[in-house]
């Protein structure tokens, strides 16, 4: 087992334990008096039918701190058969964060005492009825000052859930939106490219600067058949020196 996987499994065990009962209080600010230090975020709990840990693995490798947290959360959610619920809860958190500058500042502000951060997320998301796994993930992230990286962790977690379901996100950039028929035909072509058994999730972006054609991005691949790129290649050819002796 690789070092990366061992770290992810260790984190996932932390996320699979339920936290102490949260004390109700409003969203804290750095000026609040600190609460006594948190020595243990969680204890063991039962969450229905669990998958054997030996059978669990991440569908694609993840790297870095964000990758370790995303992998740990994924492993904990799969083990508890709560992947869909955890994914839905994280999406709702990120949507709420976008509309709440106060919450954004709270996530980024490391001057808030660690125990205050932990109690805050336990209280806020406990009242919202979130699952123990999501609450514990946020508590662990808060305890280690990782709330400010929540969006990046979420992006990596979504990459894992999409890979688990065989979904491939394909970004297609055009000058104008694709007509429905062309979009349908493009999806059929992309299905053959990404491989059998996978579902294409098409995301369209508009960029007049490409002048025409398409730019297709998925996984680590880029297919640029835009007019702008073609013109650039032609320009480079025209600027290349000509060897008159070879004529």
Q: What is the pLDDT of residues 158-177, one digit of tens each?
A: 999 999 999 988 999 999 99
**Beta pairing class for 17-19 and 42-44:** antiparallel
* Lookup: tokens for 168: 């491939």
Verify that 218 and 96 share a domain, yes or no.
Answer: no
Q: What is the pLDDT of residues 130-163, one digit of tens each?
A: 999 999 999 999 999 898 999 999 999 999 999 9
For residues 20 and 139, is the Cβ–Cβ distance under 8 A?
no
Verify that 7 and 76 share a domain, yes or no.
Answer: yes
CATH classification at residue 68: 1.10.520.20
In the listed set 140, 163, 186, which residue is the last one of a domain according to the structure?
163
Q: What is the pLDDT of residues 94-103, one digit of tens each?
A: 888 888 888 8
Report the distance separating Cα 191 and Cα 123, nearest Å: 45
In 2-102, at which residue ranges do the beta strands (DSSP E only) sit? 17-19, 42-44
**What are the DSSP calls for 151-183, one per residue?**
HHHHHHHHHHHHHHHTEEEEEEEESSPPPHHHH
In the listed set 163, 186, 217, which residue is the last one of a domain according to the structure?
163
What pLDDT, on a 0 to 100 scale, did the predictor assign at position 54? 55
What pLDDT, on a 0 to 100 scale, did the predictor assign at position 39? 29
Verify that 11 and 111 share a domain, yes or no.
Answer: yes
What pLDDT, on a 0 to 100 scale, did the predictor assign at position 64? 92
Verify that 132 and 29 share a domain, yes or no.
Answer: yes
Report the distance separating Cα 21 and Cα 42, nearest Å: 10
* Lookup: tokens for 121: 């997320």
Verify that 154 and 213 share a domain, yes or no.
Answer: no
Q: What is the pLDDT of residues 175-191, one digit of tens each?
A: 999 999 999 999 989 88
What pLDDT, on a 0 to 100 scale, did the predictor assign at position 108? 83
CATH classification at residue 235: 3.30.1330
Verify that 10 and 93 share a domain, yes or no.
Answer: yes
Collapsed DSSP state (helix, strand, coil) of residue 22: coil
Maximum average pLDDT range among 30-34, 95-99, 226-230? 226-230
* CA-based nearest residue to 225, from 235, 236, 214: 214
Verify that 72 and 151 share a domain, yes or no.
Answer: yes
Q: Residue 195's pLDDT band (boundaries 50, 70, 90)? A: confident
Range of the domain at 190: 167-246
Verify that 99 and 210 share a domain, yes or no.
Answer: no
Verify that 39 and 154 share a domain, yes or no.
Answer: yes
In the listed set 163, 179, 211, which residue is the last one of a domain according to the structure?
163
Helix (H) or strand (E) holding 67: helix 64-79
* Predicted TM-score of the model (pTM): 0.64
Structural domain total, the chain: 2
Verify that 14 and 103 share a domain, yes or no.
Answer: yes
Q: For residues 204, 69, 61 and 97, what is the CA-based torsion angle, rounded to 10 degrees? A: 0
* Lookup: tokens for 100: 């709440």
What pLDDT, on a 0 to 100 scale, did the predictor assign at position 172? 94
Q: Residue 13's pLDDT band (boundaries 50, 70, 90)? A: low
What pLDDT, on a 0 to 100 scale, did the predictor assign at position 2? 52
What pLDDT, on a 0 to 100 scale, did the predictor assign at position 171? 93
Report the distance separating Cα 142 and Cα 119, nearest Å: 9
Verify that 122 and 15 share a domain, yes or no.
Answer: yes
**Cα–Cα distance list, 10 to 73, 180, 205, 229 (Å):** 11, 47, 39, 47
Q: Tell me the pLDDT of the chain averaged across its residues.
A: 78
Verify that 10 and 100 share a domain, yes or no.
Answer: yes
3-state SS string over 107-128?
HHCCCCCHHHHHHHHHHHHHHC
């Amino acid at each position: 087992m690789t070092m990366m996987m061992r770290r992810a499994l260790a984190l996932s065990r932390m996320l699979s334990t339920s936290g102490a009962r949260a004390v109700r209080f409003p969203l804290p600010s750095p000026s609040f008096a600190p609460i006594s230090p948190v020595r243990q975020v969680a204890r063991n709990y039962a969450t229905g039918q669990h998958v054997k840990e030996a059978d669990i693995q991440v569908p694609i490798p993840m790297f870095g701190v964000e990758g370790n947290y995303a992998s740990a959360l994924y492993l904990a959610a799969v083990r508890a058969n709560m992947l869909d619920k955890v994914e839905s809860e994280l999406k709702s958190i990120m949507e709420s964060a976008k509309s709440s500058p106060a919450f954004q500042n709270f996530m980024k502000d490391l001057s808030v005492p660690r125990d205050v951060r932990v109690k805050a997320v336990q209280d806020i998301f406990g009242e919202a009825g979130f699952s123990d796994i999501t609450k514990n993930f946020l508590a662990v992230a808060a305890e280690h000052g990782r709330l400010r990286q929540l969006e990046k962790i979420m992006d990596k977690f979504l990459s894992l859930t999409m890979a688990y379901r065989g979904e491939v996100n394909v970004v297609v950039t055009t000058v104008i939106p694709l007509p429905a028929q062309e979009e349908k035909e493009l999806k059929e072509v992309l299905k053959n490219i990404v491989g059998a058994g996978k579902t294409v999730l098409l995301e369209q972006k508009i960029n007049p600067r490409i002048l025409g054609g398409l730019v297709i991005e998925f996984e680590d691949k880029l297919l640029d058949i835009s007019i702008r790129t073609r013109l650039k290649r032609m320009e480079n050819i025209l600027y290349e020196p000509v060897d008159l002796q070879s004529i």
